[in-house]
């Protein structure tokens, strides 16, 4: 029999703030973390807003020498992992390092340090390039640096599967514990892409909201007036643990992870498949892996990007798989408040899904003002809802047609 896997620790950094309590409280209140970009002057760009992390101080988690060797996305990953370690009430001395893994997803890795060193090369020459440029920016260095900090010497992975990267990391971590390859894994995602090149590229792809005059209203999943997503940054780490180990140490258990599905649209580098087939298969695979049927699901944490095609096709996929039960589901998009964290989005949405199960509260989809006839399900508009959740699905549908879905359930021995 496959081993059971539970969630026992959580750490998060997002545009809503630093730490679990602040993020959850602001999410449930329906507050937006979106504002005008301050990391650089965004005025030359048609989109000038983002979900920036404002109050992060890396010196709270590491020393100055270490900080210089890390792009911000790695700093976020280390900090969120240390938060998760503390939240799980673990100490490094009690862990068998060879049974502890690290699985952290990210799309680009250190884009800011790459841009910085390209400028240095052009303006000052080869001799001024940082000697730690490469290890400070490689995508896999988030998992590597967290492993070093935690002295985790077990299974290791770094997914870069588009906007599903951290969902894939959590799902793969779930599998390795199920199958006996590890007893505990720090899993999730991290991203810091608020840079001129990334903003310019996304603007040219014509997929960002240009509602610059009202940033907090810009991300509006499933609303008829949505005009694109808002790029964001942050990190989220979940401690996944084999059940008997968690029980033996009397751990607090937030929820159990019971299913994982993947699929590929094989259609387009940016657009989702118009028949929604990939999303349907991904959710179907996750439910079958969990051993449940569609009518067992109470809540879906939607991918919900606030782009016209993605929201419509995700709605279509939900209706195709869940049939009439689709109209009984509560569905919400955290991106309405935190924007799109790219490779970290699935991780933070899985974290919020786990908290929804644990607290019995569904975060709202804010800025839902004008219903779209093609998006006609219950998106928990504008106000959080108290609801007992037995089973929840967390969806991630990424660039290139990469799809990942996770199933969580309320924990019962």
Catalytic residue numbers?
Answer: 163, 303, 340
CA angle, 377 then 394 then 286, to 5°:
105
Read off the tokens for 87: 């939240």
Read off the tokens for 85: 């370690």
């Amino acid at each position: 029999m496959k081993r059971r896997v539970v969630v026992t620790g959580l750490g998060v950094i997002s545009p809503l703030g630093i730490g679990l309590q602040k993020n959850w409280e602001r999410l449930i209140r329906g507050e937006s973390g979106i504002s005008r970009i301050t990391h650089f002057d965004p005025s030359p760009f048609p989109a000038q807003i983002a979900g920036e992390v404002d109050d992060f101080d890396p010196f709270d988690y590491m020393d100055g020498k270490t900080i210089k060797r890390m792009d911000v996305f790695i700093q976020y990953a280390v900090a969120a992992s240390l938060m998760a370690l503390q939240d799980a009430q673990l100490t490094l001395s009690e862990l068998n390092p060879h049974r502890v893994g690290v699985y952290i997803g990210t799309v680009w890795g250190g884009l800011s340090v790459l841009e910085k060193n390209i400028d240095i090369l052009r303006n000052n020459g080869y001799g001024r390039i940082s000697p730690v440029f490469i290890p400070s920016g490689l995508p896999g260095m988030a998992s590597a640096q967290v492993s070093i900090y935690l002295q985790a010497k077990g299974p290791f992975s770094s997914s870069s599967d588009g906007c599903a990267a951290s969902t894939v990391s959590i799902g793969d971590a779930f599998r390795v514990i199920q199958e006996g390859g590890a007893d505990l894994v720090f899993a999730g995602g991290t991203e810091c892409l608020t840079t001129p090149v990334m903003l310019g590229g996304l603007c040219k792809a014509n997929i960002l909201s240009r509602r610059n005059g009202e940033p907090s209203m810009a991300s509006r999943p499933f609303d008829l007036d949505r005009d694109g997503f808002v790029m964001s940054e942050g990190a989220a780490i979940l401690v996944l643990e084999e059940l008997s180990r968690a029980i033996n140490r009397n751990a607090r258990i937030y929820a159990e992870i019971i299913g994982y599905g993947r699929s590929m649209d094989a259609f387009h580098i940016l657009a989702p498949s118009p028949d929604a087939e990939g999303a349907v298969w991904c959710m179907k695979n996750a439910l079958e892996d969990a051993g449940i049927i569609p009518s067992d699901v109470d809540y879906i944490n939607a991918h919900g990007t606030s782009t016209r095609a993605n929201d419509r096709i995700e709605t279509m996929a939900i209706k195709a798989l869940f049939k009439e039960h689709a109209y009984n589901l509560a569905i919400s998009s955290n991106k309405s408040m935190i924007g799109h964290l790219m490779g970290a989005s699935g991780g933070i949405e899985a974290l919020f899904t786990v908290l929804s199960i644990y607290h019995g509260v569904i975060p709202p989809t804010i800025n839902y003002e004008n219903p779209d006839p093609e998006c006609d399900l219950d998106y928990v508009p504008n106000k959080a809802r108290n609801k007992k959740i037995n089973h929840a699905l967390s969806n991630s549908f990424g660039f290139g047609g990469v799809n990942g879905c996770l199933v969580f359930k309320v924990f019962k021995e």
